[in-house]
């Protein structure tokens, strides 16, 4: 299961398949990482530096995080894509095709001047998360999305 959690500063990625519940994250920032609660990661009122340090101690690679850079990533399910915006300006997208076998991610792209900020990862994660919430199988023919699904 893939999930993203965010506040105005950072975006946290969590892959439950890799998490072996060693709980270093909980020890590092108990206010943010709350096993047994929903959502189990809550960034409300969290200290970004402490959260970042706690994530860096995750031994499994289940957790990672990025700065948000004031970029929003949203789903547009009617268009089968996730989209990244800088204000009202569209700066990236991740497209998928629906079939009886599930959702296949076919393309991920971010405008040249916005590369290096982790926006592509957020776009792909958004689609994976949405597919999983809809109990759909997710595959990828986009090479970048393949990498995210495998990491």
Which residue ranges make up the site for ligand SF4 (CB under 6 A)? 19-25, 58-60, 62-63
Residues 6+ apart with CB under 8 A from 81: 75, 93, 94, 95, 96, 127
Spatial separation of the C-alpha atoms in residues 72 and 58, rounded to whole Å? 26
Nearer to ligand SF4, 39 or 59 (CB): 59
Spatial separation of the C-alpha atoms in residues 74 and 72, rounded to whole Å? 7
Nearer to ligand SF4, 53 or 134 (CB): 53
Nearer to ligand SF4, 28 or 118 (CB): 28
């Amino acid at each position: 299961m893939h999930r993203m959690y965010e506040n105005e500063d950072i975006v946290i990625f969590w892959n439950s398949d890799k998490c072996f519940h060693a709980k270093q994250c909980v020890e590092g920032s108990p206010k943010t990482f709350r096993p047994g609660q929903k959502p189990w990661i809550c960034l409300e009122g969290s200290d970004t530096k402490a959260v970042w340090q706690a994530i860096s101690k995750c031994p499994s690679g289940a957790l990672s995080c990025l700065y948000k850079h004031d970029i929003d990533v949203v789903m547009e399910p009617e268009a089968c894509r996730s989209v990244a915006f800088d204000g009202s300006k569209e700066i990236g997208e991740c497209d998928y095709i629906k079939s009886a076998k599930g959702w296949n991610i076919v393309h991920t792209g971010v405008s040249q001047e916005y590369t290096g900020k982790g926006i592509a990862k957020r776009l792909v994660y958004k689609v994976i998360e949405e597919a999983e919430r809809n109990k759909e199988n997710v595959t990828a023919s986009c090479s970048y999305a393949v990498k995210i699904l495998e990491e």
